[in-house]
Amino acid sequence: MHELTTTRHNELVDPLLHIWGWEIPVYLFIGGLVAGIMIISGYFTLKHQFKKNVFSSFYLPHISLILLSLGMFSLFLDLEHKLYVWRLYTTFKVASPMSWGAWILVLVYPALWLNTLIRIPDRFKGIIPIFDRLSTRINEHPFLIKNIGVLNMLLGTLLGMYTGVLLSSIGARPLWNSAMLWMLFLVSGLSSAAAFVHLIAKDKYERQLLAKADNAFLTLEIFVIGGFISGLLTSTSVHIEAARLLLDGPFAAAFWVFVIALGIVIPLFLQLLAVNEKVRHTPIPPLLVLSGGLILRFVIVYAGQYSHYMHQVFGR
Amino acid sequence: MARFGMVIDTAKCVGCMDCVVACKTENGVPEGFNRDWITQDVAGKYPTLHMEIRSERCNQCENPPCVYCCPTGASHVHDFGGVVLVEHGMCIGCKACLASCPYDARFIHPDGYADKCTFCIHRVEKGLDPACVSVCPTHCMTFGDLEDPNSTVSRLLTSRKYHTLIPETGTKPHVYYLV
């Protein structure tokens, strides 16, 4: 028997840590989604796809700008000392992933905006003359287009990685303390972005391509989740207990049903049939993938706060 | 350079919570929050049970994850005695430090910033003991400079068996519990 009784009753900390509510999972999901969109959009830019279709090079980065702003607003809502948010930009702390994230986000906005200037649709031309001049200047130098594509892919990768590193750097929470988490969030972000483009793109080629890409990302995500869980199961007792929160603990139902079955396996199966032209493309698989990605963030953030050293180890 | 630490004799602690009341009074800790608290730890199998009563607080770690994760530098190590403190005006209330503390020693003050035990640095700078140490009726708590081999805390740690909390996290806590 081992029983701990404490007189502490701090709000959000006791009896179990719950400092981060819906705002952080939503922010991490949107951050991952935007990261994936940047990689996809950057890839299309690099491949000169904008010459055929403006969706990937103009509308997608614009949608990303709106999504990212929503994500940042969600993060802002989580702050307890909101009026001091500007303090993030008075310093750069090398050891703090949150500081890295704050500065990466500052770079992401202009990169996305540059992507929108590569090809401005006719109906938006002439509204802001300086944008038209910049667009002309960029198009006079093809190497700039290539570099904007690479920049978007690079910053997208950094942003996607950061959403995972933010949690995995917190060693006090055994579930998060895994080197696989950044990979999981990056792949999940790519998968969500592919599903998002698949859902809203009008061009058949883009939809077919992104459905195929999403199948690859979903397959990869299964292996990454396998690696994440097995890494915890082969670690210390607290890490094993943390993994069990997902496998057969209080978060098992959400994990197995909404993340694995409805979020990965079923849409993968449906999309495999669709790309092989056995069934028609429908919005159901991408919607399932997007909900699965969101619920994955909720499960990881909530279960991670639940996982703890003190509950398992008698410190002596 | 001084390195402050606290040594608590669990054989003497009766869990009276005088330290908790003294801390709340001295530091104006809001109702419903605690910078220090009492933990009763019972382990073993009947009839050979072992009980330890501990007065717990921020462990003033030498390797403080709460300082490393802070994006604004609000959480910092004070020059005087290596005490981990929070600069209220720099804290954005992101709660990363709460998540990164394996001891759950921090909380969000109702005014929005992260708060925790300061080892009563305002008293220590005047040459006084922290409030909790000064009121302990069983004198189970000792505060002092761990770098000074002649300090009471150093002598207690060389002469008695002790443990720290969750040492496997690698934080190198500076609150020690004599067994």
Q: Which of B13, B14, B92, B177 to mutate to test the interface with A (most CBs of A within 10 A)?
A: B92
Looking at residue A35, its pLDDT comes to 97
Query: How far is residue B47 from each of residues A193, A315, B41, measured CA to CA in Å?
Result: 60, 22, 16
Checking if the pLDDT of A122 tops 80, the result is no
Residue B78 belongs to some domain of the structure: no
Number of domains into which chain B is organized:
1
- Is residue A183 a contact partner of residue A157, using CB atoms and an 8 Å limit? no
Residue B74 belongs to some domain of the structure: no
| Residues in chain A, overall count | 316
Written as six digits, the tokens of A224 are 């990454």
Residue B90 belongs to some domain of the structure: no
Name the region of A190 (left: φ>0; alpha: ψ -120 to 50; beta: rest): alpha
Cβ separation of B163 and A315 shorter than 8 Å?
A: yes
Q: What is the pLDDT of residues B64-98, one digit of tens each?
A: 999 999 999 999 999 999 999 999 999 999 999 99
CB burial of A50-60 (b: ≥16 within 10 Å; e: otherwise) equals beebbbbbbbb
DSSP-derived letter for residue B98 is: H
Range of the domain at B155: 4-64+118-178
Residue B148 belongs to some domain of the structure: yes
Q: In this structure, what CATH number is given to the domain that contains residue B20?
A: 3.30.70.20
Residue B60 belongs to some domain of the structure: yes
Residue B59 belongs to some domain of the structure: yes
Q: What is the pLDDT of residues A28-87, one digit of tens each?
A: 999 999 999 999 999 988 887 777 766 777 788 889 999 999 999 999 999 999 999 999
Residue B50 belongs to some domain of the structure: yes
Question: In B, which residues are within 8 Å of A96 by CB distance?
Answer: 68-71, 96
Please tell me which of the candidates B33, B93, B166 has its beta carbon nearest to residue A81: B93
Question: In B, which residues are within 8 Å of A78 by CB distance?
Answer: 94-95
Q: Is the ipTM of this complex over 0.85?
A: yes
Query: Among all residues of chain B, which has the CA nearest to that of A100?
Result: B71
Query: Among all residues of chain A, which has the CA nearest to that of B72?
Result: A88
Other C-beta atoms within 10 Å of B76: how many?
17
Domains and CATH numbers, chain A: 23-306 (1.20.1630.10)
Query: Among all residues of chain B, which has the CA nearest to that of A171?
Result: B100
B28–chain A nearest CA distance, Å: 15
Looking at residue B26, its pLDDT comes to 97
Q: What is the pLDDT of residues B147-171, one digit of tens each?
A: 999 999 999 999 999 999 999 999 9
